[in-house]
Structure formats: C-alpha cells, structure tokens
Structure 1
Amino acid sequence: MPRTVTVGLDGSPESRAAAEWAAREAKLLGVPVRLVHVAEPVPEPMAQAPLPGTETHRNRTEEVSREAAEGLRLRHPGVEVVTERLTGRPAESLAEAAEEADLLVLGSRALGGVGGFLVGSVGLSVVAHAERPVVLVRSGEQAADEHEMDPAGVPSAATGFRPVVLGLDTAAPDEDLLRFAFEAALRRGTSLRVVHGWYPPPYYGYGVPADAGLYGSLAAVAATALTDALRPWRRKYPDVGVTEVSRPGSAAQLLVTASKDASLVVVGRRVRRHPFGAHIGHVTHAVLHHSTAPVAVVAHD
C-alpha cells in the first residue's frame, strides 16, 4: 500500500472538515489523500430480502465520496485523491485503515459556544486502538485557523503557520512522538512548543508551609529534565526553533491553553496490548475534548 493520508468520510460537516485538513497535510507530505467510507454489513436475513431504498442509500454514499473527491481536487490541485468503500464496523474498519496510512484523519463536532471537540464513540475507539497517528479535526476548521495573524489582526493562510505544540512526559520521552512533532513543525516551517506539566510533592496540599527553596529546586529539576530530553532532537532538527515550557500544574490544562495559539497539538498514547482493552490516558483524553486546534495522537510503546 503506498503512503497516504486517509480520511474517514461519512458526508457530515465534521468529516468534510477532516478531508480539507487531510488534503492540506497531504500536500505538505507529498502523498495522496484516501477518502474511506465505511458501510456496516447488512444482517443476512435483510441481505437476502433488501429493504426498499437500500440501493438508493448506496448510490448516495458513493455520490458523497465522489463529490468530496472532486471538490478536493479543485481546491487542492496537485494532490491525488482516491476513494474507497469498506464494509464493516466503522471503528474497527477505520483502525485497520489507519495501519495502511501515514495518518488517519477524523472529524469531530465542535462544542456549541465553547472551544473544543465533541469526540464520539467511534473516534475515541479508533484513537484507542490505532497504532498509527490519528488526527482529530473540529467541524468548521479552516486553513486560516492554522496560521498567524496578518497585519489587520486576522488569521490568514498567507501568513506563516502557528507553532506546533507537543505534550511531553520527560520520564518517558518516546522517539516516535518526538519525531512526529519535529517533522510536523519542519514541514510547516514553524516552531515547536514543548509543554511539560509537573506537580509539587503532595504534602504541599496538606497545610505544610511552602519551602521556596525546595520549590525552586523542583522547578529547576523539571526544567533540566525537559532540556535534556530535547537536546538530541534539537541537534537532529536544527531548522526547528524550540520553546520549552515546564510549569507546575495539570499537563492537560497547559496543553489546552497552548492549543489556542497552535496549528497542531501532538500528544501520545501508550500502546497496551492486554485483555482489558486499549486505554487513551487522561491527559490525551482531556486534550482531545478541549483543544481548539487539531490534535494528533501518536501511539507508542
């Protein structure tokens, strides 16, 4: 299977926004876009005696894919667009489709009146099971949203990209996660903002007087750990400017705040292969629901 950016397409505004984002990313990567529509299998008794309108529904889904593909070709000349229809359970089929792609891109509804995503069960299941990067794109996402303000104070696709934001656990800085974030910043020609949140000792919350010296030492240790984790990657990617942010508090909240000025937020998900199922992690889960920028989830060991 050739390299692609794959999109789960169902005709909804959310999936159309995801397809637009995917086409822009495919152009940066120099790979085709693959639009995938998943049709759930019809139970055997119904398959033998199909209900009226079944063929019409199939034709309509094919029309949606065809129209979406034609629109992307017009708006993104030079990007190859292919369509594919799969049969199966959407979450399982999309997770399998992700394994054949550089990226899988899914749409997510925006929360009415509040910045952030409303991630459905299919999206969460795909994120929890796919072992390739998955990007969630909010409905209504525009190319200009990823860019800096123009002189008039308006986001514009004519300006440079906003920074890529990476959430990093310095206790286990995964290479796949770091590589994805640095590459994303490099192909956008923008900087990388690396965010690490840490907590002071628990006794600070039990009425023990704060020791300013100890607190400062803890902050210095956390900042040094972040610098050490990034040092070899700065050497590998000298053209990517890096800003390090090490602050006390919730990593999820720090990332959500940083997302307001980001073109992309990158977070990790540890792969756990055991009988109790997959797990997203509380930081990634929170960022998925509350980020105001597209979120890339990178699975790693």
Structure 2
Amino acid sequence: MSSTPALPVSAGLDGRRASLAAADWAAREALLRDVPLRLVHAWEQPIVPLASLAQAAVPPDPERSASLLAEARAYLTRRHPGLEVTTDRLTGDPVAALVAAADESGLLVLGSRGLGRTAGFLLGSVARSVVARAGRPVVLVRSPEPAAEEDGTDARATDDSGTRAAPGDVVVGVDLDGPDDAVLAYAFEAAALRGAGLRIVHGHGPVDGEGTGAVGPADGLADGDALAVPAEGPLAQALRPWQEKFPGVPVTAQASIGQAGSHLAEASKDAALLVVGRAARQAPVGAHIGPVTDAVLRHAQSPVAVVPHD
C-alpha cells in the first residue's frame, strides 16, 4: 500500500530581494516539514504595442527566467544541504499561475517589500490577489531591507540579515464566535514544528478577515494579558481537541479589546509567525481579504500565514 507523497512548500520568485528572502524562509519551512521546496517563476507574455492590431505575442525572456530559478536553487541548496529543490517556469496570468501553484502545494510563500521596522508590508497587487484567491495557506515574508527595490534587483545580493530563523511564539487570531479548525490546525502544527509556544489572541469579534474586527475580553482575562487557557468556556472548548493532538505545544491566551488587526500586528513584534484566517468565498469584484487581514498585512512585523477556511 503506497502512501500519498507529501505536498511541497512552494515559493514564488520575481528577481527581487524580497522574493529570495521569502524563498529562504520557505526552504527552512520545507526542512521542518521534511518535504521538497518548489521554486516557481510566473510571467505573462506581453503584447507588442506596435503590433497590437495583429495581436503578436512577444515571448518572455526564457533565459532570464531559467537563470533566475537556477541561481536561486544553487543559493538555497548551498545554504540548506540535503534540501530537495525543484524549479518551475509558469506561463500565463501570474495571479492564476501562483494560485494554481498554491493548490498543488502544502503552502505558498511570497515575498513582500518592507516599509521599515514598524510599518509592515508593502503588498503588491499580485500578492494581494493570490492571498485572496488561493485555496491553501499563503505566507507573506517581509524583505530584509526596508528600502524600496527596483525591478531586476540581483537576488544574489541578499545576505544573512533576512534569513535567520526567527525566535518567539506562533501567534494566531481566534474568533470565539466561530473558531475555525483549519486555522487552529495550521497554527498548532506550525508551533509544534518549531518547538515553540502558541499564543491565542482572541475576543468575541471576527479575526478572520471578515467584519469589523472588534473584539472584547472573554473567559475572565484582562485586556492584553497572556495567561494559561481557562479550563472551561468557549476558548477551552475550541482548543481542547488540538491540545490533545499536540500535547507538547504550550498554549497561552491573550484577550483584547478594540480592533483585532492592531492587536495582532502588535503581537507580531516578538512572534516567529502570525496566523490569521480568510473566508474562502469569492468576492463579486476584486480581491477580497477583509479589513482585519488587510490591517495585519499592512502592519505585521513577522511573517504572516493567511489560511483559507469555509
């Protein structure tokens, strides 16, 4: 009886420093999960303006794409001996290609330019659309440098400053009015893989990318306290099956009053990873990620995992 192969961790590359920093984070994640790393480069064939009447397509530069992937693969295999790294060039619409890559992976990792030590992510339209549409978790990783980058930045220029494993707990936002198992499963597994604690930031309002994000204290905790999970109550009930499955993960709970996005962004300052949910239903128009997830992606300082759920 054959077992199903574990899905790889995929990382999108675009030639910028941010994407290579994200690929390095993805490499460490692949090693933790004991799965291959898949590097993908997505591009769309442009139309020549002068030949628009004939709709003549200009092939993208295959040599640049191949070189980008080969250099990144060589860099990552040197840094992470024993890691299996594969590469794929994806044609067509970049958003659709990356969403498809996510669906074929355990998770997809994308880079995002940083806006400084406290200003969070600069989230491009492609990354935002992929986060909004992917059927599997997408992790956003900040560039190691706050300065804005130009297209074509040499990926080899990335140094160790943005690639060391981050210490700290895994932080997850939980809506006590409807905690989702997919989000909790991802958060508990991430903490277990890292040998880290799990900190629950919770309240009575939504923290899954939907609604206003207003939260309030629950289970007798004061705003901002990080204490042991109470033995009874809605939070204890939601966490109990996951604590039984991951008994080695220490769990604390932090009740918050106010806007969920700002509390989660604050919690990210000393986090190894911040986990939030996103309702999987499609918006009628455009890429919808919800106000809480949007606030987290604008201001979080740690990598952020966005987990789709029903």
TM-score w.r.t. structure 1 length?
Answer: 0.82
Name the counterpart of 2:257: 248
| Secondary structure of 1:297's aligned partner | strand
Aligned counterparts of 1:59 and 1:253: Cα–Cα separation in 2: 44
Structure 2 portions without partners, runs of 5+ = 145-160, 206-215, 223-229
Contact 1:20 1:72 (C-alpha < 8 Å) held by counterparts: yes
Aligned counterparts of 1:300 and 1:50: Cα–Cα separation in 2: 38
| Secondary structure of 1:167's aligned partner | strand
Name the counterpart of 1:203: none
1:75 pairs with 2:52:
no
Range with bigger deviation, 225-234 or 41-50: 41-50
Aligned counterparts of 2:221 and 2:263: Cα–Cα separation in 1: 19
Shift of 1:10: 1.0
Cα 1:9/1:79, change in 2 over 3 Å: same
| Secondary structure of 1:230's aligned partner | helix
**Aligned pairs for 1:171-250 within 5 A:** 171-198=177-204, 220=220, 224-250=233-259
Cα 1:275/1:114, change in 2 over 3 Å: closer
Aligned counterparts of 2:198 and 2:182: Cα–Cα separation in 1: 15
Aligned counterparts of 1:40 and 1:144: Cα–Cα separation in 2: 33
Cα 1:23/1:113, change in 2 over 3 Å: closer
| Secondary structure of 1:38's aligned partner | strand
Shift of 1:145: 5.5
**Could you say what the CA RMSD is over the residues aligned between the two structures, in angstroms?**
2.5
| Secondary structure of 1:260's aligned partner | helix
Contact 1:15 1:106 (C-alpha < 8 Å) held by counterparts: yes
- Kindly provide the CA deviation profile for residues 55-111 of structure 1, in whole angstroms up to 9, marking residues without a partner as x: 7x3212211110000010010011101111011111111011100000100000001
1:290 pairs with 2:296:
no
Cα 1:7/1:275, change in 2 over 3 Å: same
Aligned counterparts of 1:98 and 1:188: Cα–Cα separation in 2: 22
Name the counterpart of 1:205: none
Name the counterpart of 2:25: 21
Aligned counterparts of 1:189 and 1:294: Cα–Cα separation in 2: 17
Name the counterpart of 2:123: 119
Aligned counterparts of 2:257 and 2:174: Cα–Cα separation in 1: 14
Shift of 1:42: 3.6
1:110 to 106, 111, 114: 114
Name the counterpart of 1:204: none
Contact 1:26 1:32 (C-alpha < 8 Å) held by counterparts: yes
Aligned counterparts of 1:279 and 1:98: Cα–Cα separation in 2: 17
- Kindly provide the CA deviation profile for residues 212-252 of structure 1, in whole angstroms up to 9, marking residues without a partner as x: xxx98x66399732222212221221100000111222111
TM-score w.r.t. structure 2 length?
Answer: 0.79
Contact 2:179 2:238 (C-alpha < 8 Å) held by counterparts: yes
Contact 2:201 2:264 (C-alpha < 8 Å) held by counterparts: yes
Shift of 1:144: 3.4
Structure 1 portions without partners, runs of 5+ = 148-161, 200-214
Aligned counterparts of 1:274 and 1:260: Cα–Cα separation in 2: 31
Range with bigger deviation, 218-227 or 37-46: 218-227
Name the counterpart of 1:207: none
Aligned counterparts of 1:117 and 1:74: Cα–Cα separation in 2: 28
| Secondary structure of 1:144's aligned partner | coil
1:33 pairs with 2:37:
yes
Name the counterpart of 2:151: none
**Aligned pairs for 1:157-176 within 5 A:** 162-176=168-182
Q: Which amino acid aligns with 1:268?
A: G
Percent of pairs with identical residues: 51
Range with bigger deviation, 29-38 or 219-228: 219-228
Aligned counterparts of 2:256 and 2:14: Cα–Cα separation in 1: 41
Q: Which amino acid aligns with 2:34?
A: G
Aligned counterparts of 1:221 and 1:139: Cα–Cα separation in 2: 36
